[in-house]
């Protein structure tokens, strides 16, 4: 229930949204009774007006947050691909901002171009499915598989089992960790390297 004596504005008294939304959002928010303003808040508003594209890497490095906002606001600019080319070397190593940009850009050429530029960096938002996460996951899973494959071959050789080149190539080419774990278990007891593969 509204507090007794508090008068809420009628909807008809609110200015319609036919003026620049950014300028309207900048208007101070007055808190208090109608006869006395106890506090006034001045919102910090960032909109499509007055936020120019940032294309200088040195300027971009001074304020990564503003550079990110600038890219998102100017995402429809015809020159957006050239803009992101200039700032990618600055934002790329800071994966947090890089992923904000990918998330914020609409599907289309700009986002696809950004994904190609960022494919070498590390994810900060696991589960989003960004290109950085995909690349990071592939690199790390491939690395783990290579380590497991080397372990299989090392166990065989340590036990004195001869490892033909064809077996080594097949083991090292495998990226399936579950299969490699099976082979590692078998490497502890097989008499020949070919027995690793069982009846596969």
pLDDT of residue 11: 33
- Of 130, 51, 41, 55, nearest to 90 by C-alpha is 55
How far is it, in rounded angstroms, from Cα 161 to Cα 129? 43
Query: By the 8 A CB rule, do 161 and 194 touch?
Result: no
pLDDT of residue 97: 81
- 36 contact partners, CB below 8 Å, separation of at least 6: none
pLDDT of residue 163: 92
Cα–Cα distances in angstroms (integers) from residue 167 to residues 112, 175, 176, 191, in the given order: 40, 15, 16, 14
Handedness of CA 88, 117, 125, 180 (dihedral sign): negative
pLDDT of residue 1: 43
């Amino acid at each position: 229930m509204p507090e007794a004596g508090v008068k809420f504005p009628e909807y008809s008294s609110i200015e319609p949204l036919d003026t620049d939304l950014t300028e309207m959002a900048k208007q101070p928010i007055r808190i208090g009774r109608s006869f006395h303003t106890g506090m006034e808040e001045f919102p910090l508003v960032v909109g499509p007006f007055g936020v120019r594209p940032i294309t200088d890497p040195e300027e971009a490095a001074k304020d990564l947050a503003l550079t990110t906002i600038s890219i998102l606001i100017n995402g429809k600019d015809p020159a957006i691909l050239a803009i992101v080319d200039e700032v990618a070397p600055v934002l790329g190593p800071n994966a947090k901002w890089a992923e904000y940009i990918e998330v914020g850009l609409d599907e289309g050429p700009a986002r696809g171009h950004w994904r190609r530029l960022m494919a070498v960096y590390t994810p900060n938002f696991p589960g989003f499915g960004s290109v950085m996460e995909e690349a990071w996951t592939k690199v790390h899973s491939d690395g783990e598989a290579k380590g497991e494959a080397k372990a299989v071959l090392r166990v065989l050789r340590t036990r004195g089992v001869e490892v033909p080149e064809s077996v080594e190539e097949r083991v090292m080419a495998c990226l399936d960790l579950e299969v490699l774990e099976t082979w590692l278990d078998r490497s502890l007891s097989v008499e020949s390297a070919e027995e690793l593969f069982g009846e596969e």
